[in-house]
Chain A
């Protein structure tokens, strides 16, 4: 191991502190805003730590009193869960068989490139016809309609991830089972899919995060509590005339919690996914 001089050591620690501060300051500030009283947030000079800790906004947002800010927030929370859940399940359903097929059949490998290429498409290229179609089908402002549209993002993405997952499972295992007389459905059910379970879980989490994060289509295709997702609800709060900045911050904290928890616990899987596929730019 390289031995460092004292100056170099001090420099490394100073840089590490700076990096930690840059990363943490905005996140910590979001949390502090959410627990500060409104008066603390609008005094000058600004108080960096609240006089008394005020957790009431969490109660306000998570309450289900009719026509309250909480009811709208909770509704959007459930919409986000529903849309992201349905879109993730549907994406895996179509992605797993095709990813396996592409992985085991090099002759159709080119079709994967076509799938990946669509992932690069800007959503604006599809938005107008999708809007007109959803409108004609009566699926505007509808969680099923939005989940269907989310497949445009999640289906190519999960196929891509699952394909590299199947690639890492040796096909010799499948050939051996074929020699032993197993049928294809038995091989897939008893051997390949159980081996691919961790990759499927990673793909599902990634897909869920993508759907949870989505804003553009949700902004276009939803208009009220029946389908509005969390991202749209937060953008409404941020852009509206809400004078309580703490409430906006609280909504942000609550929306950020699921992905942050997934991110911290799934660190290793996420990073290997990031570096292998260079995914989610």
Chain B
């Protein structure tokens, strides 16, 4: 068999996938670009070419800027907390204690819970009149009167971050735990003989093993958090007073609630560009950390 034929055969085997991907990903993406230069409505009118009007309008609007800040805040805070709590949980799960295998098995629960169920669950917990959080805090004396955690701009975003963090830190913990288990025993033992303290051991012996997998988890989680929609839609719909409105929610409102397909498309492409920048940074970081170890 010639290598030419092998390559042709490979392409033939890929053909079904390529056709599907072009039809439902490639073409829609190109059409989103086209729409972004028109004033098309979601239903009815085809729309006219309007150049960069949509982009200018969207980028200069205060909605976009405020939403970008909210999204960044959500992504940085929730992913940051997930990484820290996840690594701490992994360090704990790497110790020897009774019930460790059960606890490890439990870590899969939040991850397996569907996102919408997680959002619904936390919405019930935060309920202003009958929620478990209000009840628990009042009964142990930390809170005088019931509060509307999701109804006040001051607490809504934090409440969402807690819900996101609870669902996702176990994933980080499981990834970190797998990395910890790859650290050779004799290296940690040798470092202890050499008199390294707990922090020095973590920083110089364990951390090099953690860095690569954690970097992958960090950037994948950041990209996911940047695209967040489900959690926020179910819990607050971007409210109160738009204090939890993220970019995906804004695109949804523009394109589907207000049916402005043109400007919605331009906004969607801006979001895509931001995610692409994150993804490229991701590839670079991973290559760098792979080279370092």
Q: Using a CB–CB distance below 8 Å, which chain A residues touch chain B?
A: 1-2, 9, 12-13, 15-16, 19-20, 22-24, 26-27, 29-30, 33, 41-42, 44-46, 93-95, 97-98, 100-102, 104-105, 107-108, 111, 115, 117-118, 120-133, 135, 148-149, 151-152, 155-156, 159, 184, 209, 212-213, 215-216, 219-220, 231, 234-235, 237-239, 245, 248-249, 251-252, 255-256, 259-260, 262-264, 267, 270-271, 274-275, 278, 280-281
Contact = CB atoms under 8 A, between A and B. Distances in A.
Interface stretch (B3-11, B48-56, B61-69): B3-11
Given A94-B16, A101-B14, A125-B269, 10 more contacts: A26-B166, A44-B135, A95-B17, A120-B223, A124-B268, A126-B28, A128-B31, A131-B256, A234-B116, A281-B171
Interface of A is mostly: helix
B108 A255 contact: no
Given A15-B92, A259-B113, A101 B125 contact: no
Contacts of B130: 41-42, 46, 245
Nearest to B36: A128
Given A94-B17, A120-B279, A231-B114, A23 B170 contact: yes
Given A156-B21, A159-B17, A267 B123 contact: no
**9 shortest interchain CB distances as A-B pairs:** A263-B112, A281-B220, A46-B135, A129-B31, A105-B10, A101-B13, A129-B28, A101-B10, A278-B216
Nearest to A93: B16
Nearest to B163: A26
Contacts of A155: 17, 20-21
Contacts of A215: 115-116, 229-230, 233-234
Nearest to B100: A16
Nearest to B213: A275
B117 to A, nearest CB: 4
B112 A260 contact: yes
B119 interface: yes
Nearest to B272: A125
Contact of B120 (A120, A220, A234): A234
Contacts of A264: 105, 108, 112
B113 to A, nearest CB: 5
8 contacts: A94-B16, A94-B20, A97-B16, A101-B14, A124-B268, A127-B256, A231-B116, A264-B112
A267 B268 contact: no
Contacts of B224: 281
B275 interface: yes
| Interface size bracket, B side | 35 or more
Contacts of B230: 215-216, 231
A67 B259 CA distance: 31
B124 interface: yes
Nearest to B91: A15
B178 interface: yes
B265 interface: yes
B233 A20 contact: no
Contacts of B189: 2
A245 B120 CA distance: 10
B175 to A, nearest CB: 6
Given A2-B192, A121-B275, A263 B111 contact: yes
Contacts of A97: 13-14, 16-17
Contact of B32 (A125, A135, A251, A260): A125
A270 B171 CA distance: 11
A141 B91 CA distance: 47
Contacts of B269: 125
